[in-house]
Each structure stands twice: as structure tokens, then as C-alpha cells.
Chain A
């Protein structure tokens, strides 16, 4: 069974890193750091709202899967603060390259939740136009999206555009060669990219201690740029440091690694059975660090808690969950011939012929 995970803060190898200086040893904003970040009550309420909405939609995703409406669902339970905080920290002109567990990231970017679920309902392989939301598609092969973000960021630099690129991934992805290659390319090319590790301490059944020796954030030093570990259950801290790292990237000061420590409160996906490798008791300390409750505490502490607002947020979440369900279940299955249509931008004649043969082979009407 997993032992208690060390929350040792990252090495402070670069004392001159002003972003690291915003955080305490526990990876939480210091009082001075919070003042420096100057996040308004309005912004904090917006983060709270999005976390509540995303958690409810995520729960609805689980319900839909259990009812046989989704093939699989990978919950973001426990990732509310890391995904909402990081995604909202990016400017509208910035880009985000998410990993597959990026539901809240995509919702924060404005993608319709029902549209996101079409991937898990087996209707599409990708559901949105990246240019519309400045959001790349979910990438299933672990870690392979990380160097895509670096390539895109190198392109932003070549175009002399002040765009920061956020790429998200789990701690398991830091074991892949692509993570290393991406970090190295980013360091060499000084690409404006923020590497964001959602360290939920579990890669399916493999705990952090069997995945990573040392601290992920520390590894940035080996690639020539700074890294920090932030408390991934505190949305304000996540938001503040990510926003600072993105601003730094836009200023042309190069890449940055953020390791946000949180916990995967649900199964890896609905196909997983975590009772085979961890006990419910292990989740207890992390329930005490629930991201939504912690955000509520921060709002209380600022005197910015508003009961009516909180009720409205809950109502909005319920309403959006119903809307997501209705919209998803009403989505038609496209004609099977469409599986040929987007393979190429300029399809060869042979493929068009194959499509005709395929359609001709279908039952009349081409019903699925």
C-alpha cells in the first residue's frame, strides 16, 4: 500500500526566482506572495464557480458512464484546483495543450462540455477546432503532447508573438522519453512554454514512489530553467504561480516547470478498480484538503464569501449537468462514411474510391 507521500518542497536551486519566492515551504502562497499576486475577490469567486461546475459535470460524466451512455470516463475529481487554476491563469491569446484528463481545462477554455464527452461516447476522436479555443485536442498516448506544445511555442517565438503555451500532464508522463525531450528542446530553444505537472500521485495503479525518484520540480534545473512545487489543492496558489510563469514566458524569459501536488480522488477511469491497490483510508487526508472547501475558506478569510453566490453556483452546476446530459444524448451519430472524410486534407483518389465501396457495402441508409 502506498505510504504517505512526501510533500517535500522543491529544491530552491535558484534563489533569484521570484515565482518560487511567492510560495512557502508547503507550496502555498505566502502573505507577501498573495499580496504580490493581487488576485481580486471577483477572480477568486470565478475560480470557485468553475471548480464547482466542473466537479458537478465530472460527476455527471461518471453517471453517464455507469448508465451505459459513455464508453469510459476519466474523472477529474481532485484535479479541480490544478485544472481550473492553471487554465484560467492563461490569457485568451495563450495556448493550452492538455492531456487526456483535461475535462476541466477544456471547460475553462470554453468548450461545450457535451462536445467534450463525444470523445468518450465513441462519436468522435476529437471534438473541437483548436484554433477556436486555443486548445489542442486531448492526447491519449501518455506524454506525447508535451513536445507538441514545445514545437508550437518555438513557432510563437519565431513569429515574435507574445504567446505563452501551457502543457499539462500527469506525473506518470514525466517518466516518458517525450517529457525529457520536450523539456530539453524547450531549454535549448528557450521556448515560451509552461510545463504543468498534475501530480495526482497515481499512474493507474503505480504510486508516485514507484514512478519518480526525487522531486519532479527539481528536474527543471537539469534543463536549464526553474521549477517549483505548488500545493495543487489550493486554486489561488496554482492560479498565481501559473499566471506568473505565463507572463514570464511571454516576456521571453523561457520555459518554466510547475509541479502541482494533488491526489486522484477517483479511479483512473471507470475501467479501473482502485480497491485492488489502495485503501479508502489513504484518501482521508486529501479529503481534508478538498480544493473547493479550501477555496471557500479563502473566500471566508477575505470576507468575500457570499451565501447567495454559493447557492447560485450550485444551481448553475445542476442546470449545466442536466443540459450537458440532454445535449449529449441528443447528438446524432454521423453517417459512417464520414470516417473517411478527415483522414487527409487532400485525400488521394484511392481513399475516395474505398469510401464509395464502404458505403456501398452498408445496409440501405447506412445505419450504425
Chain B
């Protein structure tokens, strides 16, 4: 066992993919000599050369589009968008072309590519380096959207994403890049459509993903001290949504709180709450609660601790479901 960070686990997954499949390419802004602004691609160009790991011009739409072209040619591109809000110039390519190309070519052209996007806040950065754009992507048919919460899942999900024949938006919670875990790599690939129960409980279910899984676990710890038994579900896949796992948990606990950094308004919590209301109407003991951010632009960094969900806000939401 070695202690490895999430950034290190992602690096190892890329390294192993480059080693195992000669068609895998890694490219983006500053991913070559620098190793990426978060060092996720550190050392890859030195090992695999400038044809397989390369810097591109500073143009995200072009990066996504050449990934599409390379995928037609039979490569397996893993493209990096430097920051969440910097993925927006590529949005048209991702939603109008990458997501639809398999359909548009009678299934002949697999879009076997991964677009990695560091996302989320809590790093004291400017607004465009702190956003949670997942809802934009999950609302587009033809994309798979996943996000790891741990180094182990970072390795397992990225490995699976690179091997999957469909386009995967791979959201990396940047505040968790330096979180550590004892691991023996390599790990097996993880399914791209399965949530995971990361803590068992019986009084309420906290549904989280990416950066908020840690928040949910912290809330569950605090809740335990107050005599509550809280279950935590890590979605891992945002599209498709593993409602089987979510529903099974909520059927048991009868109370649900969804937690994400993205604005509550039209966030993933809205879909999950609607589905739980529809599927488990009689089983629910209280309305589904949502904890997220306000409908304002990501605030200046000095406000972000107040803006983002924390364990206290999650527990307050749990209390509301228990007091209903």
C-alpha cells in the first residue's frame, strides 16, 4: 500500500492507459512539459513522448473538436479543459457534435473520448476556477458524466472512462486533488453507471458526489455524535443516474438530503428529488431536502465558505427531514 493523492491516482490511470493502449492520446493546455496546472499529467510527456502527450494552442473548442476528429481516426483522446468555466468555449462541440456523432454516423463512429474538467470551488480562486458546470452536461443526451470523490475512484472511473466507447465528461473535484488514500495500484475499472453506499445508516440518506461526498461524511460523523445514523450515497455517475441504489437507500431510511456545490435551482438535486417523490411517494417520511449554493455567480473567494454546503448545513437539512 502506498499513500496516493487523487491527482496522483489520475496520473497513474493516465499513465497505465497510455502504456496499455497505444491509441490513447493525452492533450490540452499546458499538459506537456508543465504536467498541467494541477500536475495531473506530470511526467507523462517525458515517458510517452510529444506525439502521445502534447500541448495544444489555447483554444478549448479546438481541443474538443480535434478530439472528435482523432476519435474518428481510431485514437482514444483524453483531452483536458484547464478549468470548469474554461470548458464553455468547447460547449458547442461537446453538445452539438461529440454527443451526437455516433447517432449521426449510423453508429459507425464511436466517440471513444474523455474530456477531463477540474471543477468545483473551495480553493480560494477566481470565480471561473470554482464553478460546478455538471448540469449543463447531464442535460445533453449522448454524454456520460462521472465524478470521483476518492483517489481510488479517480483511478477506477478514469480507467473505465478511457475504455468506454462513448464520450465521457470526467469531472475532477479540484479541492480533492490533494486528498490522500492508502492504495495498491492498479485497481480494477469501476462501472460508469453505479452509485456507491459509502456509509451505512438508517435515519436518513445523504446523497452527494465529487467534492460534497466529504462534506456528507463529515455531517454523518457529527450526526453520529448526536445519536443519528446517516447513510451516505456517492453518486459517482451523474449521467446516467443510478436511481436503483438511491431509491433502495431512501426506501430504507425514508428521508433524503441531496448535497451539491452547484446552485440548488435546477441542480441534480431537483431531478433526484422529483424521482424520489414519484417513485417513493408513500415511503417518504418527509420532503426531500436539497443543500447547494445560491442562484448567484460564484462569489469572491472570501465568501465561498459561506456559499458552499458544509456539514452544519447538511445536518440542518437532515433535522428538517426528521422534524417534518
Contacts and interface: CB of A to CB of B under 8 A. Distances in A.
Interface stretch (A9-17, A146-154, A264-272, A311-319): A146-154
Contacts of A156: 73
A350 B241 contact: yes
Contact of B105 (A130, A146, A346): A130
Nearest to A345: B165
Interface stretch (B29-37, B95-103, B171-179, B182-190): B95-103
A151 B142 CA distance: 21
Interface string B100-111: 111111111110
B144 A155 contact: no
Interface in B19-68: 25, 51, 56-57, 59, 61-62, 65-68
Contacts of B241: 350
A129 B105 contact: yes
B57 to A, nearest CB: 5
A342 B97 CA distance: 14
Contacts of A177: 59, 61, 89
A155 B103 contact: no
A125 interface: yes
Given A150-B65, A343-B102, A350-B240, A144 B193 contact: no
A185 B70 CA distance: 13
B142 A128 contact: no
A152 B144 contact: no
A154 B193 contact: no
Contacts of A342: 102-103, 106-107
Contacts of B124: none
B129 to A, nearest CB: 22
Interface string A159-181: 10000000000000000011001
Contact of B109 (A127, A130, A154, A341): A130
Interface in B102-131: 102-110, 112
Nearest to B89: A177
Majority DSSP secondary structure for residues of A touching B? helix
A98 B70 CA distance: 17
Given A144-B93, A343-B142, A350-B241, A184 B59 contact: yes
**Range for the number of chain A residues in contact with chain B:** 35 or more
B69 A349 contact: no
B53 to A, nearest CB: 12
A342 to B, nearest CB: 4
Contacts of B105: 126, 128-130, 136-137
Contacts of A141: 92, 96-97
B72 to A, nearest CB: 5
Contacts of B193: 348-350
Given A148-B68, A150-B69, A350-B241, A182 B107 contact: no
A129 B165 contact: no
Nearest to B142: A343
A21 interface: no
A343 B141 contact: yes
Q: Which of B56, B66, B93, B141 has the most CB of A within 10 A?
A: B66
A346 B105 CA distance: 15
Interface in A178-210: 178, 181-182, 184-185, 188
B66 A346 contact: no
B80 interface: no
A136 B100 CA distance: 13
Contacts of A126: 103-106
Interface in B69-92: 69-75, 89, 92
A125 B104 contact: yes
A125 B103 contact: yes
B57 A181 contact: yes
A127 B104 CA distance: 7
Contact of B69 (A137, A155, A351): A155
**Range for the number of chain B residues in contact with chain A:** 35 or more
B134 interface: no
Contact of A155 (B70, B109, B166): B70
B68 A181 contact: no
A151 B67 contact: yes
A290 B62 CA distance: 37
B218 interface: no
Contacts of B67: 151
B164 interface: yes
A159 B73 CA distance: 9
Contacts of A155: 69-70, 72-75
Contacts of A343: 102-103, 141-142
A168 to B, nearest CB: 15
A351 B142 CA distance: 10
Nearest to B66: A151
B75 A158 contact: yes
Contacts of B277: none
A136 B72 contact: yes
B237 to A, nearest CB: 8
Contacts of B192: 348
Contacts of A147: 61-62, 65-66, 69, 93
A251 to B, nearest CB: 19
Nearest to A140: B96
A144 B104 contact: no
B311 interface: no
Nearest to B95: A141
Nearest to A344: B166
B243 interface: yes
B89 A182 contact: no
8 contacts: A126-B103, A128-B106, A130-B72, A147-B62, A147-B65, A148-B65, A155-B73, A350-B241
Given A128-B106, A131-B108, 6 more contacts: A126-B103, A137-B105, A151-B73, A154-B66, A178-B93, A348-B192
Interface of A: 124-132, 136-137, 139, 141, 144-156, 158-159, 177-178, 181-182, 184-185, 188, 341-346, 348-351
Q: Which 4 A-B pairs have the closest CB atoms?
A: A151-B69, A155-B73, A151-B66, A147-B65
Interface of B: 25, 51, 56-57, 59, 61-62, 65-75, 89, 92-93, 96-97, 100-110, 112, 141-142, 144, 164-166, 192-193, 240-241, 243
